[in-house]
């Protein structure tokens, strides 16, 4: 029975629950690369990624692609996903620092 509920939870939550949450280490690395970047920026990026990119297909983990592949993917998907420039930057920052674990 326990197994059933676990399976159901996974289905309901989709893959977004598997996406790494923002940790202190990510924030430090982000600040090093883009001075002034806050935890909030990365968290917003993660949330936008879930909201904007998870509607049509399952979400890939940040580690699934290189930075240039991510940039290309987000730019290709940008119109379909109705992602603005500001949102795009946040999503990419989340994905870039999320790769480096
Ligand atoms: C309106 C639906 C839709 C949205 C929203 C969307 N995608 Fe996609 N995505 C697709 C389709 C359909 C494909 C299959 C290949 C193609 O048609 O280009 C795809 C393919 C991809 C791929 C290629 C790898 C694979 O899984 O096949 C990546 C990476 C990707 N999308 C990332 C994103 C990201 C990042 C976002 C958010 C910025 C996003 N997608 C939003 C429809 C969508």
Q: Which tens digit of pLDDT belongs to each residue from 5-27?
A: 445 444 445 556 689 999 999 99
Q: Ligand 1 mean position to 57 CA, how many Å?
A: 7
**52-97, pLDDT tens digit by residue?**
999 999 999 999 999 999 999 999 999 999 999 999 999 999 999 9
pLDDT of 9 reads 43
Q: Ligand 1 mean position to 4 CA, how many Å?
A: 30
pLDDT of 10 reads 44
Q: What does the domain layout of the chain look like in residue ranges?
A: 15-99
Q: Closest Cα to residue 60, out of 20, 8, 6, 90?
A: 20
Q: Closest Cα to residue 22, out of 55, 54, 48, 44?
A: 44
Q: Which two tokens stand for residue 66?
A: 């290189």
Residue 33 near residue 65, CB atoms below 8 Å? no
- Look-up: residue for tokens 């430090």? 28
Using CA positions, which residue lies closest to atom 43 of ligand 1?
A: 56
Query: What's the predicted TM-score (pTM) here?
Result: 0.87
pLDDT of 3 reads 56
Strand boundaries in 8-99, DSSP class E: none
Say how far apart CA 99 and CA 24 lie, in whole Å. 14
Q: Ligand 1 mean position to 77 CA, how many Å?
A: 6
């Amino acid at each position: 029975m326990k197994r059933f509920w676990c399976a159901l939870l996974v289905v309901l939550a989709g893959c977004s629950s598997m996406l790494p949450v923002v940790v202190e280490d990510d924030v430090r690395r982000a600040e090093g690369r883009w001075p002034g970047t806050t935890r909030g920026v990365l968290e917003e990026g993660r949330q936008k990624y879930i909201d904007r990119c998870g509607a049509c297909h399952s979400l890939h983990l940040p580690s699934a692609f290189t930075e240039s592949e991510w940039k290309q993917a987000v730019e290709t998907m940008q119109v379909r996903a109705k992602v603005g420039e500001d949102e795009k930057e946040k999503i990419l920052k989340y994905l870039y620092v999320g790769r480096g674990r």
